[in-house]
Chains A and B, each alone.
Chain A
Amino acid sequence: MANIVEVRNLKVEAVTDAGRVVTIIDDVSFDIADGEIVALIGESGSGKTTIALTLMGYARPGCRISGGSVKLGAHDMAGLGESECARVRGIEVAYIPQSAAAAFNPAHTIMDQVIEVVRIHRLMPLRDARAKAIELFKALALPHPETIGERYPHQVSGGQLQRLAAAMALIGDPKLIIFDEPTTALDVTTQIEVLRAFKSVMQGKKIAGVYVSHDLAVVAQMADRIIVLKGGTIQEAGATEQIIKRPGHPYTQALINAVEPALFAGVNAKEEAAKPPLMEVSNLYAGYGGFLDKGLPRLLAVKHVDLRVPAGHNLGIIGESGCGKSTLARAIAGLLPAVTGNILLEGKALAPYARHRSREQLRQIQIVFQSADTALNPSKSVSEILERPLLFYHGMTRRDRAKRVGELLDMVKLPRGLGNRRPSELSGGQKQRVNFARALAADPKLILCDEITSALDTVVAAAVIDLLKELQRELGLSYIFISHDLSTVRAICNDVAVMYAGEKVEQTSPDKIGQAGGHPYSRLLFDSVPKLDQGWLDSLKQDEALIEAYAVR
């Protein structure tokens, strides 16, 4: 079989803000055969997207291809000028972006953007192009294929936009398609639908593909071969089956371990549950927008939720985007006052507003947000960030604070020397540890973790989860752990509450979730999590009525 892509000794350099030149891709070589799908897998910063974009002759601003060759068919994309590359893009190689929501221009209709490639390269009459686009919409299982093109991007859902982006890539009949994390931003129940559509179209048309992802389980469904990247170099390459069953490189093994972490083996639940609970929430309602006549907010995000967290226990809250899980955390923390309902901490009622709670009550409940990038003040050093709660809650002297900051950094396993740095000088995992250390500084009893591992790479996230468990053993903490990722929640929680459309539909232990007899939505959610098994997607049988009822398409 002929190779459509031959990359040899590829080298990409980037210029840092300080003007230093760093090599971000070093000596990368690989081939892609006709009709083959090759996955580039690795954590953020591994250079997977950069490599994929060089196949289109493109390097993001600040980067440039500084060596090697990128053969695509008859062209060497590394050596072509901008206008020559433009002639190849869209018709020989096409791109499906990570966020279709951002990649569609809000000012034009979907159809105009889908057939833009035809217009640019003058491939066929526009009437034929529209007909072809509608055929593609049908092939990608989009609803209302005849009319969906007349809408604007903001009028369709995220999963639909992602498939429309695929139609946009397919319209020019490219020989190679680059998938850049196309399902990372989607909920699991939506992801299945999109993956299926991609797979059937790719198999039907025999197009070669490059699938960029950090998620081995997803990649296992799509790719023929996998290339594992780290720090801009290839660690291991091989057939998908070999990589997931018999990985040769320790880093690959670490990636595989991170996909399905072990279930949480916590303290004896029965014994603890008998004790008075640390936190008890009953009949909680919360929402946004002005109030309606009945005293309820215009947009009710949390409805009638009851929770119970025994001391030393972890409660997981799981659900898809928009299910109200973050609103629930904000209501417990008092950031968004609950409309009605009781929040009891050690049997004492808490005021709905954080500012009406005593300092001692505030100290006992801390919240850690998803994005450490925005939660940490960029102009303060790590020490200053950690000293603030020490002063506020404990009124410590300068010397005590310095000592405690050192201890906190030890606890979250960061070198003490990091104290003088600013958040922008830390990696994503380090920032999230600082974010967590700030919560620990208050000596809380309960920490609300709102998607704290979602922005992290799988291996880094697994390390953060281990840290959380270790700290719990040492400090006797309790966590309310909010996430959309079932396997992460199962790795740390004694109990898992499943939320759907603002309501808690089920609460059960992590090993029982998704089993027969549970709530149908829990089952759907459980079944939708990709497994590290090549045949998973093809053999997966889901109840159509269930998907119809619960999945957001």
Chain B
Amino acid sequence: MNRQIIELVSWRLASAVVTLLIVSFTIFLATMMLPGDVAQILLGQAATPEAVAGLRKAMHLDEPAIFQFLKWLGGLASGDLGRSYANNMPIAALIGGRLANSLKLAAATTAIAVPLALTLGITSAINRNSLYDRIISGLTIAVISVPEFLLATLAVLVFAVYLRWLPALSLANETKTFADLLRVYALPVITLTFGVSAQMIRMTRAAVIETLNTPYVEMAMLKGASRRRKVLWHALPNALGPIVNAIALSLSYLLGGVIIVETIFSYPGIAKLMVDAVSTRDLPLIQSCAMIFCVGYLVLVTIADIIAIVSNPRLRT
């Protein structure tokens, strides 16, 4: 560790914070521009204009947008996410359990998808242009091109309807034994693994192939290094940067991009919560969910960048 690397990492962290501020502003602006007036929707068609105006004042909706933004941002900073418009519950309470569920699903998928993708990516890079490589490449392209809802529906059709091995719905609260847990998570995890692995496999394969073509790997071979040694000791450490970034991008999708999977399997996660919030114009809830997705994304990408910086000996020493 030296000064240069500390400088680089702190620069990276600072830029993450600035990005977050810009994102929060964008989210606020976007939700403000959603059509429809919250007070009007909450009170229904029959409300008198006076009642609507009264509610608007009570909810501070009549203040300039910039004040509303600063107030909201201040609340976020102090951990107060505000209250839901729809049912007047604290948003933190609404989100809490849902976020935990989403994180559980993401963790289970990560635990399976990352080792699987790395193994397949590295092995197909080693056996480049072999039958094995062609099959893996063909399959990953096929999986990338099939939309997720089709994958999920097919999975339900095969495993739940025909084979009757697994439940079609993933009601996370009904798990008592470990076997139950496996059954509940199996279908969504399988669907998500298909979705996120394809990109990771392709990036890993490309990054490893690129480093395998370098003179230092040829040199290693001329020293008598085995194939395993060439890949694991020589190629992989130099391919780490791009691979970690591909993993981070794929995993960030698991936090915000799982709307379809959560909906199809009725899984009580945060993505589904946000979809529901949009249909009820629950602005504070939408904003909080969007912020959580962005924070998750930024954290992952920043970690990936820091790993890439630290794993480069030109910067480390």
Interface residues of A (CB under 8 A from B): 53, 56, 58, 83, 86-91, 94-95, 97, 99, 102-108, 116-117, 120-121, 151-152, 154-155, 168
- Given A107-B313, A152-B317, the answer on whether A58 and B223 have CB atoms closer than 8 Å is no
5 additional contacts, CB 8 Å, given A90-B223, A108-B313? Answer: A86-B221, A105-B217, A108-B233, A116-B220, A120-B224
Q: Is the interface of B mostly helix, strand, loop or mixed?
A: helix
Q: Are A107 and B237 in contact (CB under 8 A)?
A: yes
Q: Are A102 and B317 in contact (CB under 8 A)?
A: no
Residue of B nearest to A92 (CB): B224
Which of B215, B221, B223, B312 has a CB less than 8 Å from the CB of A102?
B215
Q: Are B314 and A106 in contact (CB under 8 A)?
A: yes
The interface residues of chain A lying within 8 Å CB-to-CB of B53 are none
Interface presence of B216 (CB below 8 A): yes
CB distance from A476 to the nearest CB of B (A): 46
The interface residues of chain B lying within 8 Å CB-to-CB of A152 are 313-314, 317
Which of A107, A151, A168 has a CB less than 8 Å from the CB of B223?
A168
- Given A106-B238, A107-B237, A154-B314, the answer on whether A91 and B224 have CB atoms closer than 8 Å is yes
Q: Are B229 and A120 in contact (CB under 8 A)?
A: yes
Q: Are B238 and A105 in contact (CB under 8 A)?
A: yes
CB distance from B310 to the nearest CB of A (A): 12
- Given A104-B216, A108-B237, A152-B313, the answer on whether A58 and B222 have CB atoms closer than 8 Å is yes
The interface residues of chain A lying within 8 Å CB-to-CB of B225 are 86, 116, 120
- The winner among B214, B221, B223, B311 for most chain A CB atoms within 10 A is B223
Q: Are A89 and B313 in contact (CB under 8 A)?
A: no
Q: Are B313 and A106 in contact (CB under 8 A)?
A: yes
Q: How far is the CA of A93 from the CA of B130 in the complex (A)?
A: 30
The interface residues of chain A lying within 8 Å CB-to-CB of B218 are 103
Residue of A nearest to B214 (CB): A102
Residue of A nearest to B219 (CB): A103
Interface presence of B226 (CB below 8 A): yes
- Given A95-B219, A154-B313, the answer on whether A107 and B238 have CB atoms closer than 8 Å is yes
Interface presence of B202 (CB below 8 A): no
The interface residues of chain A lying within 8 Å CB-to-CB of B272 are none
- Given A120-B229, A152-B317, the answer on whether A103 and B215 have CB atoms closer than 8 Å is yes
Q: Are A97 and B215 in contact (CB under 8 A)?
A: yes
Interface presence of B234 (CB below 8 A): yes
Q: How far is the CA of A463 from the CA of B137 in the complex (A)?
A: 50
Q: How far is the CA of A48 from the CA of B235 in the complex (A)?
A: 28
The interface residues of chain B lying within 8 Å CB-to-CB of A90 are 222-224
Q: How far is the CA of A108 from the CA of B240 in the complex (A)?
A: 14
CB distance from B312 to the nearest CB of A (A): 8
Q: Are A97 and B314 in contact (CB under 8 A)?
A: no
The interface residues of chain A lying within 8 Å CB-to-CB of B221 are 58, 86, 89
- Given A152-B313, A152-B314, the answer on whether A105 and B224 have CB atoms closer than 8 Å is no
Q: Are B224 and A86 in contact (CB under 8 A)?
A: yes
Q: Are B216 and A102 in contact (CB under 8 A)?
A: yes
Sampled A-B contacts (24; CB under 8 Å): A53-B222, A56-B222, A58-B221, A86-B221, A86-B225, A89-B223, A90-B222, A94-B222, A94-B223, A103-B216, A103-B218, A105-B237, A106-B312, A106-B313, A106-B314, A107-B238, A107-B311, A107-B312, A116-B223, A116-B225, A120-B223, A120-B224, A120-B225, A151-B317
The interface residues of chain B lying within 8 Å CB-to-CB of A86 are 221, 224-226
CB distance from A14 to the nearest CB of B (A): 17
Q: Are B317 and A155 in contact (CB under 8 A)?
A: yes
Q: Are A95 and B234 in contact (CB under 8 A)?
A: no
Produce 1/0 per residue, B69-98, CB < 8 A to A: 000000000000000000000000000000
Q: How far is the CA of A440 from the CA of B108 in the complex (A)?
A: 67
The interface residues of chain A lying within 8 Å CB-to-CB of B222 are 53, 56, 58, 89-90, 94-95
Q: How far is the CA of A102 from the CA of B220 in the complex (A)?
A: 12
The interface residues of chain B lying within 8 Å CB-to-CB of A121 are 224
The interface residues of chain B lying within 8 Å CB-to-CB of A83 are 226
Q: How far is the CA of A121 from the CA of B234 in the complex (A)?
A: 17
- Given A97-B215, A155-B317, the answer on whether A105 and B234 have CB atoms closer than 8 Å is yes
Q: How far is the CA of A58 from the CA of B218 in the complex (A)?
A: 10
The interface residues of chain B lying within 8 Å CB-to-CB of A58 are 221-222
Q: How far is the CA of A89 from the CA of B312 in the complex (A)?
A: 29
Q: Are B224 and A117 in contact (CB under 8 A)?
A: yes
Q: How far is the CA of A97 from the CA of B221 in the complex (A)?
A: 12
Produce 1/0 per residue, B219-257, CB < 8 A to A: 111111110010001100110000000000000000000
Q: How far is the CA of A94 from the CA of B222 in the complex (A)?
A: 7
Residue of A nearest to B317 (CB): A152
- The winner among A97, A107, A120 for most chain B CB atoms within 10 A is A107
Q: How far is the CA of A127 from the CA of B223 in the complex (A)?
A: 20
Within 8 A of A (CB), among B199-225: 214-225
Residue of B nearest to A82 (CB): B227
CB distance from A107 to the nearest CB of B (A): 4
Produce 1/0 per residue, B47-78, CB < 8 A to A: 00000000000000000000000000000000
CB distance from B128 to the nearest CB of A (A): 10
Q: Are A105 and B314 in contact (CB under 8 A)?
A: no
The interface residues of chain B lying within 8 Å CB-to-CB of A95 are 219, 222-223
The interface residues of chain A lying within 8 Å CB-to-CB of B313 are 106-108, 152, 154
The interface residues of chain A lying within 8 Å CB-to-CB of B317 are 151-152, 155
Q: How far is the CA of A155 from the CA of B234 in the complex (A)?
A: 19
Within 8 A of A (CB), among B295-317: 311-314, 317
Q: How far is the CA of A88 from the CA of B221 in the complex (A)?
A: 11
- Given A105-B238, A107-B238, A152-B313, the answer on whether A120 and B226 have CB atoms closer than 8 Å is yes
Residue of A nearest to B238 (CB): A107
Q: How far is the CA of A117 from the CA of B223 in the complex (A)?
A: 6
Residue of B nearest to A169 (CB): B223
The interface residues of chain A lying within 8 Å CB-to-CB of B229 are 120
The interface residues of chain A lying within 8 Å CB-to-CB of B233 are 108
Q: How far is the CA of A94 from the CA of B223 in the complex (A)?
A: 7
Which A-B residue pairs are the 8 nearest by beta carbons?
A89-B224, A107-B237, A90-B224, A102-B215, A103-B219, A105-B216, A90-B223, A95-B222
